[in-house]
Structure 1
Amino acid sequence: MTKDAPLLIERRGDVEWVTLNRPGRLNALDDRLTAELRDYFERLYRRRDCRIVVLRGAGRAFCAGLDLASDQARRFAEGGLAEAMDVQRDIRDIMLAMRRCPQPILALMHGAAAGGGFVLALAADIRIATPDTRMNAAFIKVGLGGCDVGASYLLPRLIGASPAASILFTGRDLSADRALTLGLLSDVVAPEALESTAEAYLAAMRATAPEALRMTKQCFNHSLDAPSFEAALAMEDRNQLLLGNEPAFREGRAAFLEKRAPRFDQP
């Protein structure tokens, strides 16, 4: 992997730091970055060597959405219905793979998080931002609908219907402070504290049993869509019974009784 690749992946133990690397275009999505993001997240589904993913942007922004000067945007606008649908699916499949993969995803946001870049952050599980972060559903500002690549599904579930409507219908900027108040962000921190804040979350998650963490994300997302309280309880029951028969629970119980930290990574 070269430093000028559109997607940089740095391995730190069992955590992968994934950096959108088109800083000259504010990390806007073109064909190559779209393909690499989609392929990366789709491959995660069956990987157990990677426990957690951190997603961030190089340079002055997180991601400015679709690069309207790219060949990808040209094909969407001029290529006819079938080609436009291919472009649409190429991008929205990134978000689908992010929600489907069992690894928790932390999005570290700064500068612009617009359009598809905003939805990349919505598809993550935990969002941490700097005060200069500006989020919006920019699609509606260029003649498209404000509901795109998962925004109409994810945003109302994260902040409620009325605040989501005010963002999707207008394309107005959402500040980091307002996003924190709405519950969209977990933290707003100074740029120099962004990585250390993420490390604190990583340390807490890495202290859990690996399979328990994976199944917690699965159950959490299932419950967001559950048709009833009983359906959510059924998934929770299933997960706890499966995990209760794993060695990690026996180690966790022994550690609690012995008043020590559990050693989940040991056989």
Structure 2
Amino acid sequence: MTEELIQREDAGGIATLTLNRPAALNALSDAMIAALTDALARLADDRSVRVVVLRGAGRAFCAGHDLKEMQAARAQPDRGAAAFADLFARCATMMQALPALPQPVIAEVQGIATAAGCQLAASCDMVVAAEDARFGVNGVNIGLFCSTPMVALTRKVPPAIAFEMLTTGEFLSAARAREVGLVNRIAPPGHLAAETRKLAETLAAKLSAAVHIGKRSFYDQQGLPLAEAYALTGARMTENMLWRDTEEGINAFLEKRKPDWAD
């Protein structure tokens, strides 16, 4: 594997993307955001990839934005206003690319996921965390409220929990993060990669077209009025039912055999 900011490794239909700035706790520099945006765009059209795993190199998942880089922008005549607006817009585009991917995305979190790093984990479809991992939106501790990380966080955890995290700057343990819905699974020491791989392989074994339409429907129906949500998902299920592979899957279930999918 090369020393690029985003390392990619494919095996068994699973693409693993590794944030590769371990000395900076994988902080989201301008270059890192650009590299991850590009990597996600490539995955969107890659039919050989059925599941994506996002992880960090070294001892942390991601420590958020690169504060040194942000402070340097204050030297501009506008005190960095244009640079900050551009940074947050590009970061938001990258975060939105994760739920927009057709493939399920699993965050594999070790160490810390803080501020925009917590946002990154929450923007993934699922999270597997090490037992000693910690999650925080702690910008308030340095006088910067985590307003953009709040968007992803409030779509994963109850409002009161999110507000407490945002206003106190306190961290959640992996166990607490699982209790409130931010984390799906917790791995014991030394087993994080194996636990993540196990989940990824389970997803990769499904009919990928069904997972793709299901993921799209999952996000599209959120926030819709009840009747509109049922109308949308009913239409998607009708579409799904007419596929050859779905017909074969149902026949195989009824006949107690393994489906012969073209997928």
The one-character-per-residue Cα deviations of 1:45-86 (angstroms, maximum 9, x if unpaired) are: 33322221000011100011112123x552278553222211
**C-alpha distance 87-54 of structure 1, shift in aligned 2 (>3 A):** same
- In structure 2, stretches of 5+ residues that fail to align are none
Output the amino acid matched with 1:136.
Answer: G
Task: Note the 1:146-165 alignment, pairs <5 A.
Answer: 146-148=146-148, 151-165=149-163
Q: Any conservation in 1 of the 2:6–2:39 contact (CA below 8 Å)?
A: no
Partner residue of 2:226 out of 229, 244, 256: 229
The one-character-per-residue Cα deviations of 1:87-129 (angstroms, maximum 9, x if unpaired) are: 1112121101112111110001010111111100000011010
SS of residue matched to 1:255: helix
For 1:206, the equivalent position in structure 2 comes to 204
Give me the whole-angstrom Cα distance separating, in 2, the residues matched to 1:112 and 1:38: 22
Q: Which moved further from structure 2: 5-14 or 138-147?
A: 138-147
SS of residue matched to 1:164: helix
For 2:52, the equivalent position in structure 1 comes to 53
Q: Which moved further from structure 2: 103-112 or 75-84?
A: 75-84
For 1:15, the equivalent position in structure 2 comes to 14
Give me the whole-angstrom Cα distance separating, in 2, the residues matched to 1:169 and 1:206: 39
Q: How high is the sequence identity, in percent, across the aligned residues?
A: 33
Give me the whole-angstrom Cα distance separating, in 2, the residues matched to 1:49 and 1:57: 23
Q: Any conservation in 2 of the 1:140–1:146 contact (CA below 8 Å)?
A: yes
Give me the whole-angstrom Cα distance separating, in 2, the residues matched to 1:62 and 1:252: 38
Give me the whole-angstrom Cα distance separating, in 2, the residues matched to 1:77 and 1:169: 29
Partner residue of 2:259 out of 259, 262, 265: 262
For 2:119, the equivalent position in structure 1 comes to 119
SS of residue matched to 2:98: helix
Q: Any conservation in 1 of the 2:107–2:127 contact (CA below 8 Å)?
A: yes
Q: Any conservation in 2 of the 1:141–1:171 contact (CA below 8 Å)?
A: yes
Q: Any conservation in 2 of the 1:77–1:84 contact (CA below 8 Å)?
A: no
Output the amino acid matched with 1:147.
Answer: S
Give me the whole-angstrom Cα distance separating, in 1, the residues matched to 2:66 and 2:81: 19
Output the amino acid matched with 2:44.
Answer: Y
The one-character-per-residue Cα deviations of 1:116-170 (angstroms, maximum 9, x if unpaired) are: 111000000110101211111122222222222xx33322232211111101112
Give me the whole-angstrom Cα distance separating, in 2, the residues matched to 1:198 and 1:50: 16
Output the amino acid matched with 1:75.
Answer: A
How far is 1:5 from its partner?
1.0
Output the amino acid matched with 1:261.
Answer: K
For 1:34, the equivalent position in structure 2 comes to 33
Equivalences, count = 261
For 2:72, the equivalent position in structure 1 comes to 74
For the aligned residue pairs, the C-alpha RMSD in angstroms reads 1.8
Q: Any conservation in 2 of the 1:129–1:189 contact (CA below 8 Å)?
A: yes
Normalized against structure 2, the TM-score is what? Answer: 0.93
SS of residue matched to 2:200: helix
SS of residue matched to 1:54: strand
Give me the whole-angstrom Cα distance separating, in 2, the residues matched to 1:263 and 1:138: 50
- In structure 1, stretches of 5+ residues that fail to align are none
**C-alpha distance 76-63 of structure 1, shift in aligned 2 (>3 A):** farther
